[in-house]
Amino acid sequence: MLHLMAETHFDEWIARHYATLWPELFDPAFIEPTLEFLTELAGTGAALEFGVGTGRVALPLSRRGIPVHGIELSKPMLTQFRSQGGASDIGVTLGDFATTTVDGTFNLVYLLRNTITNLTSQDEQVECFENAARHLQPGGAFVIENFVPELRRLPPGETTHVFTATPTHVGVAEYDVVNQIEVSRHWWVVEGELKTFSSPHRYVWPAELDLMARLAGMALWERWSGWQREPFTSDSRSHVSVWKKVA
């Protein structure tokens, strides 16, 4: 299996402004159902977050009494993480979550907010599932929160669409349907300055993720359109999927 060189697009500026750029992710109305969902799956065991970032979820999950460990590739994101209260209670390993291993086994491995698409090849995404299974106890759960590819929004012959447009943020998705790559381009006005950011993502359908899980010895347990277990339908723009390691 070919493994590409891991890279991160989350630099120091993104790390410092993460909560400013994506404030909806820090809304208690969004965070609390996420924590409830993950706490239920972790039970009395430990949890491992792939792509722990600035600790948006790992820190409050740890405060609930769940032992949490994280894997993160971006050093600036880890610096931001470690500056927060409670960070010393969480072990963090610097590395690519598709291949990096940590000691111990877990009841729960989770990967949030489209982060699976930061792995820009199918091989890497398959490795991620294998790595999750490697860390799970039999019967343990692997959770992914991810967007459903928006190809139906593309008019015939077009490859881009605007996914957000506000006075301070414009976001445009550019699709390469042959290679299954979507490049997200952002323009923000932050503190009076115009900032730009772009990152490539390998978009992946739920059915493809299910096959990756089967290859790694896991089976689909449940799939919802959100953290409050809203039904997943053909109109859902995102999904929360849970696979369990076959005992």
Same domain, 18 and 54: yes
How many domains are contained in the chain?
A: 2
In a domain, 41, yes or no: yes
Least confident of 10-14, 87-91, 155-159, 241-245: 10-14
Number of H helices and number of E strands within the chain?
7, 11
Same domain, 44 and 91: yes
> What is the average per-residue pLDDT within 65-83?
94
Contact, 204 vs 180, CB < 8 A?
yes
| CB-based contacts of 129, cutoff 8 Å, min separation 6 | 142, 209, 212, 213, 215, 216, 218
Same domain, 142 and 197: no
Same domain, 29 and 77: yes
pTM for the full predicted model: 0.91
CA distance 9 to 15: 10
> What is the average per-residue pLDDT within 155-168?
92
Provide the domain limits for residue 170.
Answer: 150-203
- At 221, is the pLDDT very low, low, confident or very high (cuts 50, 70, 90)? very high
- At 245, is the pLDDT very low, low, confident or very high (cuts 50, 70, 90)? very high
pLDDT higher than 50, residue 5: no
In a domain, 53, yes or no: yes
pLDDT of residue 4: 45
In a domain, 39, yes or no: yes
Averaged confidence pLDDT in the chain: 93
DSSP single-letter state for residue 231: B
Same domain, 139 and 46: yes
